[in-house]
Structure 1
Amino acid sequence: MEMTLGSTWWVACGILVAVELSTGTFYLLMLALGCAAGAVASHLGLSESRQMLSAAVIGGAAVAACYLLRRNALGASPAGANADANMDIGQTVEVASWEADGSTRVKYRGASWQASYIGSAVPGPTPGPYVIRAIEGSRLRLDHQEAL
């Protein structure tokens, strides 16, 4: 049995789906859609260049749509407040005391950091555990730790 170009497209589609299942990246499924479009174009008798064009257009459009939908659903947050971009976001620090202006110094990862309070506690923040919500330059932005 001879391997046709349409079969090659389906094999590529299957490989992309298998890799996606092992990595969890949804974008590979979109590229698999492009390979499926190439396979369908092959079965319709289109030339190799038209098959590649259909795979590229469908796969690329699916990736772009997936990216735009995900970005709009998650909301574009700045890197300083995005836990996906900065591993420090969401970590807990212990505050011993606060200054009158809402600033403090905390020990975090073996260093002393300047920090400021971003919550709305009245009359002001109290000592205790706080969560890093953002990092602006070398200053941690802290808020109250949420109860579990």
Structure 2
Amino acid sequence: MNDWSYWLAAAGATVILELFVGTFYLLMIAIGLAAGGGAALLGFGPALQLLVAALVGVAATVALRRSRYGRAQQRVQAERDPNVNLDIGQTVHVPAWQDNAARVMYRGALWDVELAPGGTAVPGAYTIREIRGSRLIVAA
């Protein structure tokens, strides 16, 4: 077997491993290995093949890290995420408060309502900010 076939076999094995792990970083390393295979196909020596594979792999990894796919995304808690719970952002009418808590009818059921920190407990319309179990956390 030629040198380039070893490089491409290693790249293929890395892609298969990436499918099991689910990270794009192994895919970037596989791109570097494929570049090493390309260098071997062009007739470069083993040292230069390794250098090309390393440089392309590192460059692809850095490029991935700087892209939006490589950045750690800020996680939103499920009880506050309107994409998870469609009730967040809806309005409820609170007729009376008792110690920053109340009970209201919402969607045909009786719910416990708590006032979010910093709010004033006065009767009126409130927006649901969070849901904890069977409690609605609301703010004006």
TM-score for the superposition, normalised by structure 1 = 0.53
Residues 144 and 30 (structure 1), Cα distance of their counterparts in 2 relative to 1, 3 Å cut? farther
1:44 — aligned with what? 42
- Once the two structures are superposed, what CA deviation does each residue of 1:87-126 show, in whole Å capped at 9, x if it has no partner? xx6255xxxx76xxxxxxxxxxxxxxxxxx57x7x53699
Question: Is 1:129 aligned to 2:131, yes or no?
Answer: yes
Following superposition, the deviation at residue 130 of structure 1 comes to 4.0
Match of 1:45, SS state, is coil
**Counterpart position of 2:2:** 4
Q: Distance in 2 between matches of 1:56 and 1:144?
A: 53
Deviation at 1:70, TM superposition (A): 2.8
The TM-score with structure 2 as length reference comes to 0.55
Any gaps of 5 or more consecutive residues in structure 1?
Answer: 84-88, 99-116, 132-142
What 5-or-longer segments of structure 2 have no aligned partner?
80-98, 101-115
Moved over 6 A (4+): none
SS at match of 1:70: coil
Distance 1:52 1:91, change over 3 A: same
**Hey, what does 1:17 align to over in structure 2?**
15
Give 1:38 deviation, angstroms.
0.2
1:65 equivalent among 60, 63, 66 = 63
The structure having more radius of gyration, on CA atoms, is 2
**d(CA) in 1 for partners of 2:3, 2:17:** 21
**Alpha carbons of 1:144 and 1:17: their partners in 2 closer, same or farther (altered >3 Å)?**
farther
1:97-112 to 2 correspondences below 5 Å:
none
Matches of 1:144 and 1:58, distance apart in 2: 51
RMSD: 3.7
How many residue pairs are counted as aligned between the two chains? 99
Identity of aligned residues (%): 34
2:77 is equivalent to residue 90 of structure 1:
yes
